[in-house]
Structure 1
Amino acid sequence: MEYDLVIRGGLVCDGTGAPAFHADVAVKDGRIAKVGDVTGRGAEEIEATGRIVTPGFVDIHTHYDGQVTWENRVAPSSAHGVTTVLMGNCGVGFAPCRPHEREMLVKLMEGVEDIPEVVMTEGLPWNWETFPEYLDALEKRELDIDIATQLPHSALRIFVMGERAARQEAPTAEDLDKMRALVAEAIKAGAFGVTTSRNVMHRTKAGELAPSLYSDVDELCALADGLNQADAGVFQMIPAPSGHSEEEFAVLRQIAEHGRRPVSFTLLDVAGQPGKGWRGMLEALEQARADGLEMRGQVAPRPVGMFYGLDLSLHPFSSHPSYKAIAHLPLAERVAKMRDPEFRAQLLSEQPEDTNPTTLALIDAFRATHEWDGPRPDYEPVRDNRIEQRAERAGQSWPEYAYDLLLRNEGRQMFYLPAANYTAGNLDAVREMLGHPDTLLGLADGGAHYGLICDGSFPTYFLQRWARDACDDQRITIEDAVAELTSRPAAAVRMTDRGRIAVGMKADLNVIDLDALDLHLPFVAYNLPAGGKRMQQDADGYVATVVSGVVIQRNGQPTGALPGRLVRRGRELMAA
């Protein structure tokens, strides 16, 4: 056979945003060999008539840092057309790390990214200490899709400062020199950037702030110096969502001016944020571009929210003393206990007790959740159907009302809180942010928040909601939507060999039935190390997903093929 794979007759959206065109796509040795009328045969062929053919999606905001060390599927992202993920975001990760500091990073990841400690204790092999050694360990892994990573600031701070990193101590001049050198070392070894967080919600489970939260701007600029020293890499940060928007952007701009490297940050529509909020940040981005700075806001395509339920990480009574006493029991036993009228009365008489103020705030926020009881997910719920309003109409307090709802479906009922990006009860702000030239699609958070968030499905939702189903004045063309998922994120982090369908590019591809594209309800699966649980979400419409010319998924089912590898910055062409 002349080719390894030929995809025939599809409508090719090449990832550039150019008008789609009908063509065959031929693959040889992991690369795209021809686009057009392919007369030669392939060892494997896929009929794509009536389907769209796209580059594989590039997700630049994930947290698979641990998961890829203990399992081979980068799920849920690989089930939603993603063929490359970038990890190590928000300043948290597992390298560099000395043996006696492992527990600190595990507890930090448990609190910030909702990954149970026992899962990490059981799953992480810890066959590294320095960041280059972590990359070497990842390079040995065989996965369904490609992975790339960044250097996390909190791990770096602990590696350099030890216990001082978490004791609100400022770094010494020697500490800053070490940080600069280690950032440069990581970039030269293949990291795509350095990341940090200023979000006060980022805490250990016990409530201690992430080490990066104790950093002043001079320390952040030292990290940028390391990028500048290596002459490569992107600086990624999550600003303080409750901070004054102009002041937070001023910090971002100072980093960009100091390091002269691209800056990427989380951009959200947050209720009550001081300053001009997201609109002010868009204006500031435009000015930065005019001044020659490369800065982009990462935007989620739907509300940034979370789920609650008895089988998930949080619910209204998860921190009540009486519930803590039964929390270790299997779900069925907890449900039976909670149906006891005496236990109900006792639990409702208590108040939540927790050392973590973020946990208490999230528990109280349950009052604004929406019950998901339909056959399909509803990410744009009607505001009048929030739990507290339903309770008022029923003549009950919201905890009383919520108690009985939690027991539905044998305790598996889910409740959704659309928080950021839904402050007006619609997605108009999201659409405006998505259409801005200085923003990127991001924030899917795959590999984290196992019992709170299930946003690895962002690519599917984005295509379905904004490219196919949106009204005419809000619709994003399919060509532009595909570019947002492929070439734009790849270019932003300097991945030069993927994100476009063109001869010589890496053969990462999707064949999609756009009309059939649909999201299922999330569900809980107990398939992590030590029996840990996580939310997963399936999708219809993916006819095939291809990585390096190898089909990894057909019609929503993995083939078992594992062509995915670590991508090192500057060596992308070696990834196939």
Structure 2
Amino acid sequence: MYDLVIKNGKIVSGTGEKSFIADVAIKDKSIVKIAPDLEDGVKNIDAGGLVVSPGFIDMHTHSDIAFIQDETCGSKLFQGVTTELAGCCGFSYYPSDDAGFERLKSYTEEKEYIRYVSKSLGEFVQKTEAMNKSINWGTYVGHGALRASIVGFGDVKATPEQIEAMKALLDVALSEGAFGLSLGIAYAPGMFCDTDELVELSKVVAKHGKIVTSHIRNENVAVFEAIEEMIEIGRASKAHVHISHLKLGYGSWHKTEELFDIIESSRAEGVNLTIEQYPYNASSTGLTAVLPNWVHEGGIDKILERFRDQRDEVIKGIEGSNSFEMGLDRVMVVSTGGFMPEADGKNIREISQMLGKSEAETVIYLLENTACTVPTIRFTMDDEDVLKIMSRKDCAVISDGSAYNIDPEKMSFKPHPRNYGTFPRFLKLNRQHQLMSLEDAVYKMTGLPAQNVHLENRGILKEGNYADITIFDYDKIEDTAVFNHSISKPIGVEYVIVNGKIAIDQGKLTSERSGEMLLQKS
């Protein structure tokens, strides 16, 4: 007898192929039969009028320790996400050599969880594998972690010996099961590397047949130059390169055709270039992004030192930045970590008026009183551009967020709504704007990301694959999380099944914690 049978659902396979009505039978962790009129299982779900799709795959997250912080991972599970990949934008909790281990620990913002910083992916797995997980979890190797460990936080060119040391650590991590290399070259210490360093590291990734994802150097006025750098890395290394959270920020609005031409021409010459996007007009990053690059050299202690000793130069740099030109009224503080709670949810211009300080002084004031830890939401994009990028079938849907608790009482801050609403929001926008067929929309959230990261036996509904399944009402599904009320679960997701176990049952969280740590062996 089958363990579970999903009856009468609209099967959207994740391949982009036409949907059909059938039953899905599950035994243990696997899909064992897809056909009409199957016999009953130990448990049955009536999916009449609902879409039965693969569980959504979020291939770009910051859930590096989310399952440690909150095993329910509710903000993602309620969206229909069954698999997350962390270690993005150059950050990961590993690896390092012996000499660089303390530097790697200093790279970790969440000091409460510093004990999970590890010298290898294998060590990180050992520290965390016994912990309950509601969804599947995999990780990339962060270039920032490699550089922090081997080179440090200085604005210096890596020596040939240092590059070889980074390559050796990377090679081991990829062999242990990391899904690829992530770059965060808009952030320190990654911003201090040159293209040659990235080409050399990407050659290691190419040898393993894996992916290089990148938060590129600039997503605003110099976005096209930054994309060209990624194309050159792919060209020179032969690695699969992937642009994280593709966007046209302030200074490059309404240039989607130029953007698409660059993508298509690179592919035509043989570069394996793929893309992803979250369906919002605002990004989220730390307030330190407003600072000029030179201020970041040496890490947080050096930044704070420059606030004291070179304050006028720092202020001048802030006032000459792209962020300042855009307007700091577009930069909203998420949390000051309790330092100035009345500033939470307000933009820098509003806070500067509250304090009676200039906007640049306000930036410094907040950073120097929070150890440079002020998450922000930045309204940098144009809605028309967002929709045009979203309408591409080859653009994976990602959250760029973390898995948080769904209970507002258990959250100390209000994060970007993408943490709670990304996938239902995309489906709602697709329905409202008729961007593409339902089958293609589901492909962007399932089969495509699985294909991008070579995730085997997931992302497609077919016999023999793992039973990661999301069941939703396409006519009703939508996000409810908004910028001033982000901790809010979406509607329309009725069931979520992870490795054959029901994690969301008729819209309610169950006690099942059946997620697994995914390792991709080379």
**CA distance in structure 2 between the partners assigned to 1:506 and 1:464 by the alignment:** 27
Q: Residue type matched to 1:561 in 2?
A: E
Are residues 357 and 131 of structure 1, via their aligned partners in 2, closer, same or farther at CA, if it must alter by over 3 Å? farther
Contact kept, 8 Å, 1:96 with 1:134, in 2: the verdict is no
Residue 441 (1) aligns with residue 401 (2): no
Residue 513 of structure 1 and its aligned partner are, at CA, apart by: 1.9
Which protein is bigger by CA-based radius of gyration? 1
Matches within 5 A, 1:194-343: 194-199=181-186, 202=187, 210-229=188-207, 231-239=208-216, 240-242=218-220, 244-266=222-244, 267-273=246-252, 277-305=255-283
**CA distance in structure 2 between the partners assigned to 1:518 and 1:98 by the alignment:** 46
Are residues 362 and 129 of structure 1, via their aligned partners in 2, closer, same or farther at CA, if it must alter by over 3 Å? farther
Residue 77 (1) aligns with residue 54 (2): no
Matches within 5 A, 1:166-565: 166-199=153-186, 202=187, 210-229=188-207, 231-239=208-216, 240-242=218-220, 244-266=222-244, 267-273=246-252, 277-305=255-283, 357=318, 365=327, 367-368=329-330, 399=353, 419-422=379-382, 427-436=383-392, 438-447=394-403, 451-456=414-419, 457-466=421-430, 468-470=431-433, 474-521=434-481, 536-565=487-516
Q: Residue type matched to 2:265 in 1?
A: Q
**Residue-by-residue CA offset, 1:180-232 (whole Å, 9 max, x unaligned):** 12212111110010011222xx3xxxxxxx11110001111121021133x22
Contact kept, 8 Å, 1:8 with 1:25, in 2: the verdict is yes
Residue 259 of structure 1 and its aligned partner are, at CA, apart by: 2.0
**CA distance in structure 2 between the partners assigned to 1:195 and 1:158 by the alignment:** 14
Residue 243 of structure 1 and its aligned partner are, at CA, apart by: 5.2
Are residues 558 and 513 of structure 1, via their aligned partners in 2, closer, same or farther at CA, if it must alter by over 3 Å? same
Contact kept, 8 Å, 2:84 with 2:136, in 1: the verdict is yes
Are residues 369 and 288 of structure 1, via their aligned partners in 2, closer, same or farther at CA, if it must alter by over 3 Å? closer
Q: Residue type matched to 1:551 in 2?
A: I
Are residues 105 and 445 of structure 1, via their aligned partners in 2, closer, same or farther at CA, if it must alter by over 3 Å? farther
Q: TM-score, normalised by structure 2?
A: 0.78
**CA distance in structure 1 between the partners assigned to 2:318 and 2:106 by the alignment:** 16
Contact kept, 8 Å, 2:97 with 2:150, in 1: the verdict is no
**CA distance in structure 2 between the partners assigned to 1:517 and 1:193 by the alignment:** 32
**Residue 132 of structure 1: aligned partner:** 122
**CA distance in structure 2 between the partners assigned to 1:242 and 1:480 by the alignment:** 29
C-alpha root-mean-square deviation of aligned residues, in Å?
A: 3.7
Residue 303 of structure 1 and its aligned partner are, at CA, apart by: 1.1
Are residues 387 and 63 of structure 1, via their aligned partners in 2, closer, same or farther at CA, if it must alter by over 3 Å? closer
The DSSP-based 3-state class of the residue aligned with 1:25 is: strand
**Residue-by-residue CA offset, 1:45-72 (whole Å, 9 max, x unaligned):** 1111111111100011101112233432
Residue 174 of structure 1 and its aligned partner are, at CA, apart by: 0.9
**Residue-by-residue CA offset, 1:56-107 (whole Å, 9 max, x unaligned):** 0001110111223343223421220000001111101211247996775566
**Residue-by-residue CA offset, 1:334-378 (whole Å, 9 max, x unaligned):** xxxxxxxxxxxxxxxxxxx999959995899453489xxxxxxxx
The DSSP-based 3-state class of the residue aligned with 1:90 is: coil
Q: Residue type matched to 1:270 in 2?
A: G
**Residue 205 of structure 1: aligned partner:** none
Q: Aligned match of 2:148 in 128, 151, 158?
A: 158
**Residue 45 of structure 1: aligned partner:** 44
**Residue 25 of structure 1: aligned partner:** 24
Q: Residue type matched to 1:301 in 2?
A: P
Q: Residue type matched to 2:185 in 1?
A: R
Are residues 284 and 127 of structure 1, via their aligned partners in 2, closer, same or farther at CA, if it must alter by over 3 Å? closer
Contact kept, 8 Å, 1:54 with 1:511, in 2: the verdict is yes
Are residues 5 and 567 of structure 1, via their aligned partners in 2, closer, same or farther at CA, if it must alter by over 3 Å? same
Are residues 354 and 559 of structure 1, via their aligned partners in 2, closer, same or farther at CA, if it must alter by over 3 Å? farther
**Residue 346 of structure 1: aligned partner:** none
Contact kept, 8 Å, 2:221 with 2:251, in 1: the verdict is no
**CA distance in structure 2 between the partners assigned to 1:421 and 1:220 by the alignment:** 28
Are residues 268 and 69 of structure 1, via their aligned partners in 2, closer, same or farther at CA, if it must alter by over 3 Å? same
Contact kept, 8 Å, 1:32 with 1:502, in 2: the verdict is yes
Residue 447 of structure 1 and its aligned partner are, at CA, apart by: 4.6
Are residues 436 and 561 of structure 1, via their aligned partners in 2, closer, same or farther at CA, if it must alter by over 3 Å? same
**CA distance in structure 1 between the partners assigned to 2:441 and 2:393 by the alignment:** 13
The DSSP-based 3-state class of the residue aligned with 1:519 is: coil
Are residues 141 and 98 of structure 1, via their aligned partners in 2, closer, same or farther at CA, if it must alter by over 3 Å? farther
**CA distance in structure 2 between the partners assigned to 1:197 and 1:127 by the alignment:** 18
**Residue 408 of structure 2: aligned partner:** none
Contact kept, 8 Å, 2:133 with 2:515, in 1: the verdict is yes
Ranges in structure 1 where 5+ consecutive residues have no aligned partner: 111-119, 203-209, 308-312, 315-352, 371-385, 392-396, 403-415, 526-534, 572-576
**CA distance in structure 2 between the partners assigned to 1:196 and 1:462 by the alignment:** 25
Residue 489 of structure 1 and its aligned partner are, at CA, apart by: 0.8
The DSSP-based 3-state class of the residue aligned with 1:27 is: strand
Residue 497 of structure 1 and its aligned partner are, at CA, apart by: 0.8
